[in-house]
Chain A
Amino acid sequence: MTTNQEGVHAAVRAETSTTGTYLEDWHALFTADAIAAGPWNARMIAWVNQTLSTSYTSLNDAMNAFAIDQGFSGWTDMNTFSVSAWSPQDLFTAGVDGGWYEISDLSTLFAERTGGGTTPASVDGVVGTCRDKSGLDRHLVAPSDAARPILRLSGGVYHLEFDGVDDTMASASTFTMTSPVFAGVCLTRASAASHGVAQFGFYQSVNNYAAVSANASSEALMQARASAGTALSLATTSTQFANGTTRVLLGRVNTSDGYIQVDSNTEITSSYAGYASPGTAGFVVANRNIAVAGKFHGMIAVVNKSMSADDLNNARTWLGTRGGLTL
């Protein structure tokens, strides 16, 4: 007869395809889910919190909560479980437009700017195309060869390094920006000047529309604009985005309000009137008019979807992991 622990062990192995001891296989699962290295107890708490979007500090409380979430009365009664790691793909349900860009997935990066790319990008080489993983083919492309960023690997984290002179990437301006629109990015600021980081998210060819950005004062910004290009709102955060720091910026623009959030800090919400969809738009990384010196780790941009609290938490955690952050 299989004991409950043996059943759980089998469930762990089903997730990891490993064949170690009970603890070894759990550690493999933690690692696969980007839980920071450490003692098993601490990793288990972190893993449960990540999986359930909770904040337990007690091992027993965390394990029991997980078991209850799996339909058991407690951990000792649990003889199996099933978890599927959250993926940005989960956001792209029917009717949702957007893009998903993951620099740590080298299979999406190519040196060429045209034809979707044929030569895989290599570390310390230029990147002309960053393919969209959403399946919607909103690929990011550099507008010229001089505009191509370079792929770097630093501290075990991949990123695109934008030179602060003329590097930028954008998707084709081909979709209607039906609100709400959401953009989340993970990036490292690489200059204290205004070109440290600016305008990641959405653009429209005339209005230079931006969902999230930051300025020389290290404030993160959310902008919403009327169709004529007039800025309706400019919400700023007190959480500084200083030079050299890696941050996750989440921004949303709706028809009457929007917010900006840095990492897990309190979001800043701003209300406004007069919003009009800027019409056909695309995504931009770095900027089309102001050069950006920054390290870009990934972006999720979603159009025509109300992001739930779980969606936001999952997106934040996923983006942070791309930049080596635990959020």
Chain B
Amino acid sequence: MSIMHSLVVIAPDEIWPAVMALNNALGYEAGEGVPISADGQNPITHRGLHTWAQPEFVALATGKVTPEIKGYQPEQIAGVLALLTVSVDAEGLTARAHFDHVLATMGLRTIAFELE
């Protein structure tokens, strides 16, 4: 089995539907994404995810390999990828620490949902 890589993807909120659509076309469901903003309060400005990914998927997410996706032109795919912040394996950080590390470098925070 291939080594699974810790992969963090952050995207502006307005392109998240496009991120989801591209991933769906590749057979991967990204989900709604974690809501993110600069101060951790609404409104949502970005969305993000953390996943464990095989090398083939990492190559796609980082733009090293451009997939052939029916209905999409290569430049459309490249256009979406250009707007993503993608981080792969962060020197032994745990998944959550990796995610928070990427957010910190971008000046962003997750929008918390507090238990009552």
Contact = CB atoms under 8 A, between A and B. Distances in A.
A195 interface: yes
A290 B30 contact: no
Contacts of B112: 194, 290
B73 to A, nearest CB: 25
Contacts of A291: 34, 96
B25 to A, nearest CB: 13
Contacts of B99: 163-165
Contacts of A144: 29-32
Nearest to B8: A165
Nearest to A165: B50
Contact of A165 (B30, B95, B115, B116): B95
Nearest to A293: B96
Contacts of B23: 145
Interface in B12-33: 23, 28-33
A202 to B, nearest CB: 15
B5 to A, nearest CB: 11
Contacts, number: 80
Interface stretch (A58-66, A121-129, A176-184): A121-129
A124 B32 CA distance: 24
Interface string B77-116: 0000000000000000011100100000000000011111
A215 B95 CA distance: 20
Contacts of B94: 163-164, 190, 293
Interface of A: 113, 122, 124-126, 143-148, 150, 161, 163-167, 190-191, 194-195, 198-199, 210, 213, 215, 231, 289-291, 293
Across the A-B interface, the 8 shortest Cβ-Cβ residue pairs: A144-B31, A164-B96, A163-B95, A165-B50, A289-B113, A146-B49, A146-B51, A144-B29
Given A165-B50, A165-B95, A231-B116, 13 more contacts: A113-B29, A126-B4, A144-B29, A145-B30, A147-B31, A161-B95, A163-B50, A163-B52, A164-B99, A165-B99, A167-B50, A290-B115, A291-B96
